Every structure is written in structure tokens, then in C-alpha cells.
Structure 1
Amino acid sequence: YKRHLLSRAASVTAVIAGWCLVQLALNAAFAALTAAVPDQVPRRQRGLVGGWLGVSQVGGILVGTALATAAGGITAGYLACAAFSVLAAVPYVLMRRDVRLSPADRPPFRWRSFLTGFWIDPRRHPDFGWAWLTRFLMNLSYSISTMYLLYYLTDAVRYEGDADTGVLILTALNALTLLATVVVSGIRSDRSGRRKAYVIGSGLVITAATLLLAVWQTWTGAVVASLVLGVGFGVYTSVDFALLTDVLPTAEDRGRDLGVINIANALPQVLAPVIAAPVVSHLGGYTALYALAGFLALAGSVLVRRIRGVA
């Protein structure tokens, strides 16, 4: 229904309202879906499941892009994506294994408790706090690195062909190496029982990719950086998800806690343009922008070491 509103939007205000509703619905579904993982998946298999979640996210982007393109026109594209969103939820609904609480076991709903529940004191749960911060920094770095590729190709690389096509090629290359590493790294992390080493290593790879974009501003450099970035983010996507499920404060509040974690996924997408615009315009251009992205990924890598309860 929300995507239907977007398909009929006739003003910027309507587009903003429709997109906010889409984000509200999709993030609610994603939080519930990820909460099922620590409830139903053994700890030593969560890297594997995190890897497949990464595959589904990348696959969803590619399928959504293909649907929107093949449907022809903005309205048809949004309607096709809306239909796919509904159909994609059917298998989980039909095959779910959730154990419902009886009404007697459910705490009474109170607005005050609901609103204050979003604050999880990092002094009482430091591992959760550090995990949230590192995920925020990594996702902010990735968002800055990918959201400005169109302008990067146009203004810095001086790409001779169609810039939209160039971004599509870079996105495909990034997805290729991400898919090649996301499941394998999750399996290896499960077998070794180690999480932090993989997350730190992936952050360093992401840092290297962003620095390539900062100093090697050519089409060849952008291709190499996209391939390297996919490797780093593929490893990070699967293993960090498993790490997060290992540091959740309580079993009873996993849905809420993973919803709070999801803020660290969504908020960087909002903040990235706010940060990038002044950096590109007034603080050093694309060299400074991608150097900043590298610094954020490096900071996320270093701070992962502060998490004590995970190997």
C-alpha cells in the first residue's frame, strides 16, 4: 500500500511521506525477521544465517532494480515492487516456527515503558553499546562510499560514458564480490568461533577501498575499489550480524534490541548526504569525502576490540 502511494505521488511532499511509510513498514518487518534468528538458530550457525541474510539483501536490491526497470515507467515499477514485497513475505508467514506467549505471560502495554525501552544503558551493557556504535560507523562509511558514486564519476573521474551506467557497473561488481564472500565468511566464523577478528579485518579492507577512491580517481581505480569494497562488506555483513546476536542484553527483549540495532543500519543512510554535501562543497571535495569514509571504517574496526564478551 505504501509503495502504491509512492507510485501516485505528485509532489515532493507526497514522495517524502510515502518513502517514510515504506521505511517504517520495511524496518518493522526486518526487525521482526532478524529477531527470529537468535530465537531459533544455534549460536554456532548464526554466521551462516547472517551470510544468507546478506545474500537476500543484495539479491533484493538487484531483483528490485530489475523489476522497476522491466516494468516500464515509474508507476508500474513501484507497483511491481509493492507486489513483490507482499509475495516475498508469504514463505516466512507460512513456514514460521514462532512460539507465541500466552496472554498471561505478556506484560501489559504502557507507553512510558515502550518509549523508555529504546534506551539501553551502555554502562550496564557495554558490549551492546560498542556493537551499536561500531555498526553505525561501518554503515555510515559504506553509505558515504556508495551514495555519491554518480557524482564521483561525473565530477572527479570524468567518466566518458553515461554516469548512470557506470554506477550500475560498479554496483554489480560490488555485489559480485560481496556475494562471493558473505556466506563463506559466515561459515568460517562459525567454525572458528571467532567474530571480532573477521569484523576488524573487514573494516580494514573497507578502509583500503575508500582510500583507493580518495587517491586513485580514475575509472580503473573505481572498479578496483568497488571489488575490494564488496569483499570487505561481504565479510562484515555476515559476521557482524552473528556478533550482534551474541551481545544482546536479554533473551526476552531480542526483538526490541535488534530494532535498536536496526537504527544503526538506517540512520547512516539519512546522515550520509547531510555529511557528504558540505565536505564535497567546502572541505576538500571527493578526496576528503572518501578519506572521511576510510577514517569511519577504521574507527569502527578499532572500537570492535572494546567488545569483551565475544571472541
Structure 2
Amino acid sequence: MTSHDPGTGFAPDPTIDLQGSPNLIGPKLPIPHLGIKPDTKKPVWYVGAVFLGQFGLFVALLAPVMVSLQLKVASLTDDPAQQASMLATILPGGALAAVIFNAVGGRISDRTIGRWGRRRPWIVIGVTGLAVALLVIALGTNTLTLAVGWFLAQAFANTGFAAYTASLADQLSEEQYGKTSGLVGIAQNVGIMVATWMGSFFTENMLLLFMVPAVIGFIAMVIYALAIPEPVLVKNKYPFNLRELLSTFWTNPIRYPDFGLAWWGRFMIIFASYLFTSFRLLYMQNHLGLDTASAAGAVALGVTIYTVASMVASLAAGWISDRIGRRKVIVAVAILVFGIGTYMLLHVDSVSMFYVVEAILGLSYGAYLAVDLALVFEVLPDRMNTGKDLGVFNMANALPQSLAPGVGGFLLANLGGGTDFTALLVLALAAAVLGAVLTMFIRSVK
């Protein structure tokens, strides 16, 4: 289906370029019509580009959250409580950027006029700005510089990620939702694994620690951007005034309750996840008593186990979901099991037990990621403005990534003295249970 052949019953839209912007990598693909679900499956090579884009962005963006920023602050102070306090100051600044630029990035990409299409320019701009911001962090020597750098990193990354996610809704047919969602989940976790291993390789070189992931992310996302067959707007028929700007951050949960419930389910599992993963290195050092080098190595192996388990679960859950036509039950159970896994970390007393829990977390999170994106695509309120609505949804992904480290850092520093993770992990369990319950109230998806 092309932009100039939407099917019977559709009048030509003068605001849409009849030619579109063809993909610049690979065999030429049909250009989707705006506002209509594509009915043609994308080829394997295009799905591979989807995988590559998600992988690259998560290598670049999550390396700081997983390991790099923890190593950076450890290079500035040896005091565990001060390290936790610094992270609690640095990371939450990204929360504001994530909220603003995920939503605004999606809205802007919906409205962008130009021969390169709506999504492609913002994907490239986002990943370029992220690389520059990571350079600022790598060279920073104080808390303020790191906080500013992290704010900019989240701002650019979430602008690009909003356009990337919206492009998936533009391009994929419904029968590819589950399988592609599973591959995207695998890409995310493989990206985290690679980022974590890089942290163990470059512990003594801050420039390489931040910039190698940045370069990988830049190359991968640019390749994906060039693989998109983009619809092109020649005129923006929507006003962009103050009311429009404010509505960018809001999709009415009363009018679209299933979208709202899916939003909160995503928020809760990401919040639960980052309450722990933001402090994984400190957990290994202060809960299990490992030195910095041993802790980094153990975290890297743990993340590898997590990732392999996640890959298996993602492939299985995505295939099963498409096969049986059920989404929300798989999502809710996965969130609940993940929460139980985070609570089990309180009772871990050896590295071997830590690896077992990582496998449980990986299985549950992989199953969740494989099906949740497919669920969200089915409850989107407006196919003409998928960027805006997915931008709002991505706030549930981005906000807890920056909010959880602040909350966790506060709990760890003030209630745990930098070494006791009880309050932090109990909160993670509670968030996951709530997310599972809310997901089960979705009505329009089985």
C-alpha cells in the first residue's frame, strides 16, 4: 500500500506528497498511507534494521544507567553514601527531559514537513545530540556537569526514540506486531548486555566508556533511518498553538481507558526494574562485598544471563501471543513475576544466587517486552497521530528510567546508609504488583 493508493473510499489528501520519501537502503518498499494500518508484511531485512536501531540506541543510552555513570561517580569519590547521593542528583534531571522530549518529539515528527519524511530527520538529530551529550559527561569533573550532560542526553535520545517508535506503528502490519515486538525486546536487552560488558572493559578510560556506545548507537540508528519508506507531508493541516502544545503531553485516560491502563502497566515495570538496575553495581559491591573490578565483571555476566533468558522468553512469548491472539494475560503475569524476582534479591547471599535471580528477571522481562508493544499498538487512539500518542506512552518508559534512580538513591542513601537495599527492593515489588493488576483491567485486548 502506498501513500497515493490508500484503497477504495479514500479521497486524495493534498497535504500528502504522492511520491513520498523512499528508503535509501535495501530494495524499494511500499510507502504507507498516513492514518491506515499497513496490510503488507515488511521483509526480513527491514525487521533486521528495526532490531539494529533499537539495539544501537539502548547501547548508547543505557550504558550510563547500567554501569557508566556509576563508574564515573566512583572515580570522583570513594564514599558509598556520597556516590548514591550524587547519582540521585544527576539522574533525575533526565526525568524532566524524558517527559518533555518523548512527547514533543513524537508530536513534532507527526507534523514535520520535508522531503526526507516525518520520522527520519528526528531519528538522526536525536542520536547525534545524544553522542555529543555523552561526550560532555565523559569529560565532566563535577556533579553539575554530569547532570547537565545527562539532561541533554535524555532530551536528544527521547526525541529520536519517539520518532523511531512511531515509525514502527507507521510501517508494520498487525500480524507482525507480536514477533517484531519480541525482536525489539531482544534488541533492547542485548543492547543493555553489550553496554554492561563495555563498562567492564573500559573501567579505567572514561572517554571510551561513554563514546564507544555513542558511536555504536549513532551508526545503528542512522542505518535504520535510511531504511524507512517515509510518507511525506507537504502541508501541516493541524495548528500548532499553545493548546496543541499542552495536549502533546496528554492522552485522555477517561476517553481511552485501555491506553491509560497500558501506560501505567509500562510505568510500573520500568520503575521496578530501574530501582534495582540503576544500583546493580553498588548492590554487588555493598550487598555481596565485591571489589569494583569483580563487581563489574559479575554484573556483566549477570546481565548476559539476563539477556539470554530474555531472548528465549521474547521469541517464545511473541510467537505464542500472535498464535493465540492474547496479550494482556502474558503481560500481567510477566510484570508480577518480575516484581517477585526483584524482591528475591534481598535474600541473595552469593554471586551464584544472583545469577539465578537474573535468569528469572530476564525470563519475565523478555516475555513482557515481547507482548507489551504489540498490546500498545492495538490500543492506539489515533492512527494519524501515532507519534504523539506513542510519545505519551514512551513517557511511561522514559520517566521511570530517570525517576527511579532518584527515588532509589534517596532510599538507599537515607534509609539504607548506602548498603541496605530493603526499602528499595520492597518498593520495586509493590510497583510491579500494581502494574500487573492494572494491566488486567484492559478490556479491548484479550
In the TM superposition, what is the alpha-carbon distance from 1:297 to its structure 2 partner? 1.0
Alignment-derived partner of residue 38 in structure 1: 169
Give, in whole Å, the separation in 2 of the partners of 1:295 and 1:252. Answer: 36
Look up the equivalent residue of 2:217 and give its one-letter code.
S
Superposition pairs for residues 284-295 of structure 1, below 5 Å? 285-295=420-430
Work out whether 1:215 is the aligned partner of 2:313. Answer: no
Check whether the contact 1:135–1:265 (CA below 8 A) recurs between aligned residues: yes
Structure 1: which amino acid aligns with 2:172?
Answer: V
Residues 151-162 of structure 1 mapped to structure 2, 5 A cutoff: 151-159=282-290, 162=294
Relative to structure 1, is the Cα distance of residues 164 and 72 closer, same or farther in structure 2, using a 3 angstrom cutoff? closer
Q: Determine the structure 2 residue equivalent to 1:299.
A: 434
Give the Cα separation in 2 of the matches to 1:125 and 1:300: 18
Calculate percent identity across the aligned residue pairs: 33
Which moved further from structure 2: 224-233 or 261-270? Answer: 261-270
Match of 1:149 in 2: 280
- Tell me: CA distance 1:75–1:215, structure 2 relative to 1, closer, same or farther (3 Å): closer
Cα-to-partner distance string for 1:265-284 (whole Å, 9 max, x where unaligned): 11112222332244444279
Partner of 1:174: 306
Q: Residue 186 of structure 2 contacts residue 307 of structure 2 at CA under 8 Å; is this kept in 1?
A: no
The 1:286–1:13 alpha-carbon spacing in structure 2 relative to 1, beyond 3 Å, is: closer
- Match in the other structure for 2:369: 237
CA separation of 1:3 and 1:148: change in aligned 2, threshold 3 A: closer
Check whether the contact 1:45–1:187 (CA below 8 A) recurs between aligned residues. no
1:130–1:304: 8 Å Cα contact kept in structure 2?
yes
TM-aligned CA deviation for residue 65 of structure 1 = 4.7
Runs of 5+ consecutive residues of structure 1 not aligned to the other structure:
none
How is 1:94-133 mapped onto 2 (pairs within 5 angstroms)? 94-103=226-235, 106-133=237-264
Residue number in structure 2 paired with 1:186: 318
Aligned partner of 2:408 in structure 1 is 276
TM-score normalised by the chain length of structure 2: 0.64
Rounded Cα–Cα distance in structure 2 between residues aligned with 1:288 and 1:255? 37
| Greater Rg by CA | 2
Deviates most, 6-15 or 167-176: 6-15
Give per-residue Cα distances to partners, 1:162-203, cap 9 Å, x unaligned: 222222222221112112211221121111110011112212
What is the Cα-based RMSD across aligned positions, in Å? Answer: 2.4
Q: CA, structure 1 residues 85+158, in 2 after alignment: closer, same or farther (shift >3 Å)?
A: closer
Trace 1:19-34 onto structure 2 (pairs within 5 A): 19-34=150-165
Tell me how far 1:71 sits from its aligned partner: 11
Q: More deviation in 250-259 or 210-219?
A: 210-219
Q: Specify the code of the residue in structure 2 equivalent to 1:282.
A: L
Could you list the per-position Cα deviations for residues 199-253 of structure 1 after superposition, in whole angstroms to 9, with x for gaps in the alignment? 1221222123123212344333322111100000000012111111111111112
Q: Choose which of 265, 268, 271 in structure 2 pairs with 1:134.
A: 265
In structure 2, what is the Cα distance between the partners aligned to 1:125 and 1:193? Answer: 21
2:334/2:367 contact within 8 Å kept: yes
Shift of 1:36: 1.6
